[in-house]
Amino acid sequence: MKGLVQEIIADLKSYLEYLKGLGIVGLPVSEGKEEMVPSLEEVQKEVGDCRRCKLHRTRRTLVFGEGNKKAILMIIGEGPGYEEDVQGRPFVGKAGQLLTKILQSIHLQREEVYIANIIKCRPPQNRNPEPDEIQTCYPFLLRQIHAIQPQIICALGTFAAQTLLKTDAKITTLRGKFYDFSGIKILPTYHPAYLLRNPERKREVWEDMKQISKWMTDHVGIPARPADEDSHREKASHPVGENMR
Ligand code: URA
């Protein structure tokens, strides 16, 4: 019983933090009215030509995010790199090409999901995002999530997983498990850029993606399509995703 109460308090706390991130500081009192959900266009307008943090000085283009506005699956990465900064679109460089293959390995096209990042502007020399940059940008990502209302989020890499789950735990510990995020499932996995440097880890990402695919089949009724067996074919001494290369 004590455990259950603690669990409810922890859930409530994380929901209140989520609301705080959305800029809601008082508890909404329901008067039978529908909750106002912002549209993605409204969120984008609010972000505007953002100059709220220092990254605006060095970025070329703000990368808001793109994809299906009603996506069931949302992909959240770290932040734009060189190519994303040039094109103004998320995951269009080498890591992005791998992400497309990873999605295809569970028979999803990029256009079916929504892709965004923890921060919307490229840090100089692709350095890690700094805490003040994440803190400034994160509320807008929360608003995007609120607008899209995905049922499941795949967090790519350390920064996405740690920020969304409010933890310092390592991605090696976090990956491959489901977490609750105010009623939305989150499953963290390795970042595709990390996979480019460590291809022997592709097998784990493949296992994680299969879990997402199964969850979508079981909970959302997405028709079961066999995951692409070629994607984890054994290559040389370690398993490398055939279609994820
Ligand atoms: N890496 C990310 O985390 N996001 C992108 O959009 C591109 C590369």
Of 91, 113, 122, 189, the residue with max ligand 1 atoms within 8 A of its CB, to mutate for a pocket test, comes to: 91
How do residues 189-232 score in pLDDT, each as one tens digit? 999 999 999 999 999 999 999 999 999 999 998 765 656 655 44
Task: Give distance in angstroms: CA of 214 to centre of ligand 1.
Answer: 25
Higher-scoring residue by pLDDT: 244, 189? 189
For 155-169, what is the mean pLDDT?
A: 98
For atom 3 of ligand 1, which residue has the closest CA?
A: 78
103 burial level (CB within 10 Å; 0-12, 13-18, 19+): buried
Instruction: Out of 117, 133, 164, give the residue to mutate to test ligand 1, the one with the largest number of ligand atoms within 8 Å of its CB.
Output: 117
- Whether residue 173 is predicted with pLDDT greater than 90 in this model: the reply is yes
Q: How far apart are the first and last CA of the chain?
A: 49
Of 144, 168, 189, 154, nearest in space to 41 by CA: 144
Pocket of ligand 1 (CB under 6 A): 77-81, 84, 90-91, 93, 95-96, 117, 193
Q: 140-159, pLDDT tens digit by residue?
A: 999 999 999 999 999 999 99
C-alpha 117 to ligand 1 mean position (Å)? 7
Query: pLDDT of 64-108, one tens digit each?
Result: 999 999 999 999 999 999 999 999 999 999 999 999 999 999 999
CA of 45 to the centre of ligand 1 (A): 22
Record the pTM: 0.84
User: How would residue 2 be classed by pLDDT, with cut points 50, 70 and 90?
Assistant: low
pLDDT of residue 221: 86
Distance 87 CA to ligand 1 centre (A): 12
pLDDT at 3 over 80: no
